């Protein structure tokens, strides 16, 4: 076989490290962006948090030492909108606005075709549910309380039927009497359309004790499945909430999940206004002290001592990195 040499022209697209960094910053939500900026401040000694804000749209470029010495402080990248002060603190946006779990459940019951008696009994049942979504009192005791306080004679069987209706309400798992029932109620509201979900339901139904005691090897042997299948099934269970009522704790407690929006949509004077949420995002700039450090190391004729070359190169590389980071935030 003869050996041939050929020249091939091809077109390839490659991303520079700076472009990759810019893309990663672009996809970060507000909370993670704040953490990422603070991490960069810790990692890059020439970056510092800016206290005053201004704007500059200049693109970063490779600059010589002399140009560094002529530069002013790197301006902040963040512009403020909607007249918010820089001292304003981020207010958590709770998933609920002061409505209690009981109020939310009663509202859902109003859309069910219940008789007046069933409605009164169901409302009393809902009132017995704790804030985390569990019904910890036994139905016989609740039936006695209803007879004493409401004047309605009922039985645990009737309350069990009405509790089944409450189990169909949101949040999934509400009204459960123990953790196993809570998780199963949530699984029942999911479409069992995959092997991991079928295994997850089987574990909760037949092997719950082994699961809570973390006897995983025993479970894998009994179910006769691979470790990968078992890991996926456990992943489905971990997506369930052990305390579904916490989502609707009145007023938003410390345990209540909250969201920090990336964008804010306001409606004023008949028009919508969309703005970027950047309340707590730090402003950063290049620390002027390191620019002065380079100036002190450079002689009046522009020469640099041999012993200072390594230090100047180190600081210059950090400044380059800082400028690219600031530019990426600006473009985001």
- The parent domain of residue 234 ranges over 176-240
SS3 of residue 16 by DSSP: coil
Give the pair of three-digit tokens for residue 175. 């009204």
Residue 207 · residue 222 · CB < 8 Å: yes
* 9 belongs to a structural domain: no
* 287 belongs to a structural domain: yes
Q: Do 100 and 167 lie in a common domain?
A: yes
User: Closest Cα partner for 219 from 228, 229, 230?
Assistant: 230
Residue 73 has pLDDT above 70, yes or no: no
* 324 belongs to a structural domain: yes
pTM more than 0.85: no
User: Closest Cα partner for 159 from 148, 175, 182?
Assistant: 175
Reply yes or no: is the peptide bond before residue 171 cis, omega within 30 of 0: yes
Q: Do 200 and 181 lie in a common domain?
A: yes
Q: Into how many domains does the chain fold?
A: 3
SS3 of residue 93 by DSSP: strand
Q: What are phi and psi of 227, to 5 degrees?
A: -65, -35
- Tens of pLDDT along 233-245? 998 998 898 888 8
**Higher pLDDT, residue 250 or 287:** 287
| Residue 272 parent element (H or E) | strand 271-276
SS3 of residue 48 by DSSP: strand
Domain boundary among 192, 215, 240: 240
* 105 belongs to a structural domain: yes
- Tens of pLDDT along 167-205? 999 889 999 999 999 999 999 888 878 898 999 999 999
Domain boundary among 171, 203, 230: 171
Residue 76 has pLDDT above 60, yes or no: no
CA–CA separation, 55 and 78 (whole Å): 7
* 7 belongs to a structural domain: no
Angle at 91 between CA 24 and CA 277, to 5 degrees: 40
CA–CA separation, 297 and 307 (whole Å): 10
């Amino acid at each position: 076989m003869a050996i041939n040499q050929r020249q091939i022209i091809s077109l390839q697209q490659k991303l520079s490290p700076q472009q990759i960094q810019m893309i990663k910053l672009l996809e970060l939500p507000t909370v993670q962006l704040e953490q990422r900026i603070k991490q960069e401040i810790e990692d890059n000694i020439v970056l510092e948090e800016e206290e005053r804000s201004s704007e500059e749209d200049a693109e970063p470029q490779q600059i010589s030492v002399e140009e560094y010495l002529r530069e002013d402080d790197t301006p902040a990248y963040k512009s403020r909108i909607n007249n918010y002060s820089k001292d304003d603190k981020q207010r958590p946006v709770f998933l609920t606005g002061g409505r209690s779990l009981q109020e939310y459940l009663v509202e859902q019951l109003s859309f069910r075709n219940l008789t007046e008696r069933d409605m009164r009994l169901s409302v009393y049942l809902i009132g017995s549910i704790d804030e985390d979504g569990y019904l910890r009192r036994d139905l016989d005791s609740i039936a006695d309380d209803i007879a004493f306080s409401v004047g309605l004679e009922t039985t645990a069987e009737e309350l069990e039927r009405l509790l089944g209706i409450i189990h169909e309400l949101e949040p999934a798992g509400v009204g459960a009497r123990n953790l196993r029932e809570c998780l199963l109620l949530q699984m029942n509201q999911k479409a069992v359309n995959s092997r991991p979900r079928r295994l997850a339901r089987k574990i909760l139904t037949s092997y719950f004790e082994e699961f809570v005691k973390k006897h995983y090897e025993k479970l894998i042997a009994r179910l006769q499945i691979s470790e990968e299948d078992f890991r996926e099934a456990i992943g489905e269970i971990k997506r369930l909430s052990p305390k579904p009522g916490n989502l609707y704790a009145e007023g938003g407690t410390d345990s209540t999940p909250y969201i920090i929006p990336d964008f804010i949509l306001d409606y004023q004077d008949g028009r919508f206004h969309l703005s970027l949420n950047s309340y707590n995002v730090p402003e950063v700039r290049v620390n002027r002290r390191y620019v002065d450090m380079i100036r002190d190391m450079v002689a009046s004729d522009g020469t640099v001592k041999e012993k200072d070359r390594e230090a100047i190169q180190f600081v210059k590389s950090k400044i380059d990195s800082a400028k690219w980071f600031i530019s990426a935030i600006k473009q985001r």
